[in-house]
């Protein structure tokens, strides 16, 4: 990575490890502010290649300058996530952004059932996005409808899961690693996984580990990036 005003204007793809509770928008704004401050730039384009929810951590690709033209291509790359499903309960947002609204038994769930359900998600399937999402319906974000308690018909859409591994099963928790196509909601995967087990499920932890060939192992924290820019700037 080159640290100069010219390099950032010419275009860089920054690998940032987004912290918990930060929105992707906040991370982009922080990077933009740092570049303008440290390099005296009046204007610079900065954008991200794929949103991460505030309750998720991990790889956020932030593009600067002319590299923002590659955002659409980067968004289309396969992504990998690790995280935890919590069975036996659902939430309206399918994660911990909202409170538990229903509980279900899990005593009937066997290892064989879990394996069968895991395998059923491999390949191309239809998925319904969560109501608490930024997708638009009738000119409004779905989460705006959800927060007003409005009923909205959400269409399913095709997604592809190429790899789905369960790394720890300690009910009610299941840890996983999944590689999936653009547009896959891991929150919906958690909800659907619980439903297929005749129980409930929600996402309790999520980390994005890869986007295409980019790996979070090579990413910088916001603090580390700030230090490097300040030292080199």
CA-to-CA dists, residue 37 to 1, 9, 117, 132, angstroms:
19, 14, 51, 35
Token pair of 79, please?
Answer: 């992504």
Residues 6 or more apart whose Cβ sits within 8 Å of residue 19: 57, 221, 222
CA-to-CA dists, residue 214 to 8, 20, 25, 48, 87, angstroms:
19, 20, 20, 14, 31
Please list the active-site residues.
53
Helix (H) or strand (E) holding 42: none
CB 141 within 8 Å of CB 170: no
Residues facing residue 210 across a β-bridge: 80, 215
* DSSP-derived 3-state class of residue 98: coil
CB 143: neighbour CB atoms within 10 A? 16
d(CA 212, CA 6): 27
């Amino acid at each position: 990575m080159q640290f100069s005003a010219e390099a950032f204007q010419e275009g860089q793809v920054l690998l940032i490890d987004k912290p918990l509770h930060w929105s992707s928008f906040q991370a982009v704004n922080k990077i933009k502010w740092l570049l303008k401050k440290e390099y005296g730039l009046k204007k610079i384009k900065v954008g991200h290649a794929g949103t991460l929810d505030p309750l998720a951590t991990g790889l956020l690709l932030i593009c600067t300058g002319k590299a923002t033209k590659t955002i659409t291509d980067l968004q289309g790359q396969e992504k990998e996530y690790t995280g935890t499903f919590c069975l036996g309960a659902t939430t309206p947002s399918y994660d911990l952004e909202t409170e538990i609204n229903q509980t279900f038994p899990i005593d009937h769930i066997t290892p064989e059932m879990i394996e069968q359900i895991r395998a059923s998600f491999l390949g191309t399937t239809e998925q319904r996005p969560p109501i608490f999402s930024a997708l638009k319906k009738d000119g409004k974000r779905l989460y705006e409808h959800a927060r007003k308690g409005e009923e909205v018909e959400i269409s399913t859409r095709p997604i592809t899961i190429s790899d789905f591994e369960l790394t720890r099963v300690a009910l009610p928790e299941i840890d996983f690693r999944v590689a999936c196509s653009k547009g896959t909601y891991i929150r919906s995967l958690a909800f659907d996984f619980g439903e297929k087990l005749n129980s409930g499920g929600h996402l309790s932890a999520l980390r994005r580990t890869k986007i295409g060939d980019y790996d979070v192992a090579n990413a910088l924290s916001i603090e580390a990036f700030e230090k490097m820019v300040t030292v080199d700037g």
